[in-house]
Amino acid sequence: MRITIIGAGFSGCALATELARNAGAAVDICLVGVADSYGRGVAYGEARPEHLLNVRARDLGATADHPGEFADWLNLTERARHSFLPRLIYGEYLHSRLQAAAQLSLAALNRIEQEAIAVEREAGAFRIHLADGSDFLSDAVVLTLGALPPQPLAGVGPRLALHPSYLGWPWQNGLDGRGAIDRIDRNARVLIIGTGLTMADVVTTLQRRGHRGPITALSRHGLLPRAHTEAPGPSIALPPTVLQALNSHDLRQLVRALRTLSPIVPDWRALIDALRPYLQGFWRGLAPPQRARFLRHLRSYWEVLRHRLAPPLAAELETLRERGRLRVRAGRLLRARRSSDAVEVLIRERGFAHASSERFDVLIRATGFDTDLERTSHPLIAHLRESGLVSADPLGLGLNASPRFEALDAHGVPVRGLYALGPLLRAQLWEITAVPELRVAARQLARQLLSPQLRAAVATEASRSSKAMMCTS
């Protein structure tokens, strides 16, 4: 049985490692990913030395039964286990785990450092097409692509879109391998669209390069991610009012209960953390209108509380704001175009009816990751969508899938042998972008893929397809 995992970031590596540790010699595992970030992913393989993890080292083990494995791998002291380390180090940890699993596994773990550009159904299996023109067959395919490529920023004119003063992705490299962000003049007036974690990384990198010019960060609500505390606080148990709202899948009741509780608890962070084990089940039970209401009215506020900054980074941003070098604004970018000597933008600030015309030297898109299948330019996802093998969530949260992680086709029918893991499952689970949730899901899917029932079904399907081909010939 051949299992192909497409995407060699955290989700792909965690799943491949789980399979390699538990599969027998009759299983062939293929991990497909681009060479630049293979075994590490974009988040950890293409980060810069100044980019920090936003989770303490003690909690980042890639297996659910050993959350301290990352800290143990580094042989950290008790104090260091509570720190927020560079993301590049975490990428090395993931790569090391993958290599160790490959050496100890009875199953074959094949590394394919190529981009997968298409997956097609063929005789009860799947044919995977690679960017170099080669292809191969697989009995099962798991999509672990993580975030999709950023979409074009609305309002950006065609001339600006091709000009060096617009960075559609802050970490893009030129033909010489030099980062586009490294070409920004240190005195440039910079406008960043987005005020989340990506923006924080951009500002940090600019400061490490000695940037002196003013920086403006713009988003719909103008909210910055909140900070972790220096030392972890005690955990709390959720009271009956919150548990009742979670169990009844009542979004309005949950919000009311949390608002009542938040002034009472010693630290709101403990309340957010206590919710996490319940959120996937809660989200599954929400009706589509309630999900849409959450995304429209509460999503921005939830994300700044849920996805927090490492304390040193939060302190750096606050210092820049106090000195007037970083300005955070709430509003919308209506238009951006390239003039002869600047980027001219129209911004309508939140609460104002009229827009203001302003000039900057550089415009950077830093709006975080995307999982909208309908609008993506990703070649593999676009091919799967157009062929009907996957269907897009109407709210733009990823693909439609069954509770068993199977992709649903254009008719809403599970596609046997085609699975997804990671952020593409946000439509079903919402909380499926961070290590604690991903490592649990990776183990669940690995057990499912290696179950005797699935392997028997694969063997039966292969036999039927073989007989059908013989009859045809």
Residues 181 and 315 in one domain: yes
Residues whose CB falls within 8 Å of the CB of residue 391, separated by 6 or more in sequence, listed in order: 373, 385, 399, 400, 407, 408, 409, 410, 412
* The total number of structural domains that make up the chain: 3
Residues 139 and 111 in one domain: yes
Q: How far is CA 358 from the centre of its chain?
A: 33
Residues 34 and 90 in one domain: yes
Residues 270 and 354 in one domain: no
Let me know if residue 48 belongs to a domain: yes
Range of the domain at 49: 2-149+371-472
Q: How far apart are CA 385 and CA 450, in angstroms?
A: 27
Picking from 68, 40, 43, 42, the residue whose alpha carbon sits closest to that of residue 56 is: 68
Q: How far apart are CA 330 and CA 347, in angstroms?
A: 10
Residues 80 and 32 in one domain: yes
Let me know if residue 232 belongs to a domain: no
- The pLDDT, as a whole number, for residue 368 is 77
Coil/strand/helix, residue 132 = coil
Residues 334 and 414 in one domain: no
Let me know if residue 236 belongs to a domain: no
- The pLDDT, as a whole number, for residue 471 is 33
Contacts 24+ apart (CB under 8 A), 367-370: 367/150, 367/153, 367/193, 367/194, 367/196, 367/198, 367/219, 368/194, 368/196, 368/197, 368/198, 369/146, 369/147, 369/148, 369/150, 369/423, 369/433, 370/147, 370/148, 370/149, 370/150, 370/151
Interior angle at CA 189, CA 188 and CA 191, nearest 5: 125
- The pLDDT, as a whole number, for residue 463 is 54
Let me know if residue 240 belongs to a domain: no
Residues 103 and 177 in one domain: no
| DSSP-H helix ranges across 262-411 | 268-284, 288-293, 299-306, 311-322, 379-387
Residues 76 and 27 in one domain: yes
Q: Are 181 and 171 in contact (CB under 8 A)?
A: yes
Let me know if residue 237 belongs to a domain: no
Q: Are 329 and 346 in contact (CB under 8 A)?
A: no
Let me know if residue 277 belongs to a domain: yes
Picking from 181, 262, 277, 279, the residue whose alpha carbon sits closest to that of residue 226 is: 262
What would the DSSP string read from start to end of 168-190?
SSTT-B-TTS-BGGGGS-TT--E
Burial of 354 (0-12, 13-18, 19+ CB in 10 A): exposed
- The pLDDT, as a whole number, for residue 473 is 35
Interior angle at CA 143, CA 137 and CA 147, nearest 5: 145
Residues 258 and 378 in one domain: no
Residues whose CB falls within 8 Å of the CB of residue 268, separated by 6 or more in sequence, listed in order: 262, 305
Ranges in the chain, pLDDT < 70 = 174-177, 453-473
Residues 107 and 120 in one domain: yes
Q: How far apart are CA 122 and CA 137, in angstroms?
A: 8
Q: Are 271 and 302 in contact (CB under 8 A)?
A: no
Q: Are 195 and 328 in contact (CB under 8 A)?
A: yes
Residues 375 and 358 in one domain: no
Let me know if residue 45 belongs to a domain: yes
Residues 141 and 61 in one domain: yes
CATH number at residue 355: 3.50.50.60
Q: How far apart are CA 389 and CA 432, in angstroms?
A: 22
- The pLDDT, as a whole number, for residue 379 is 94
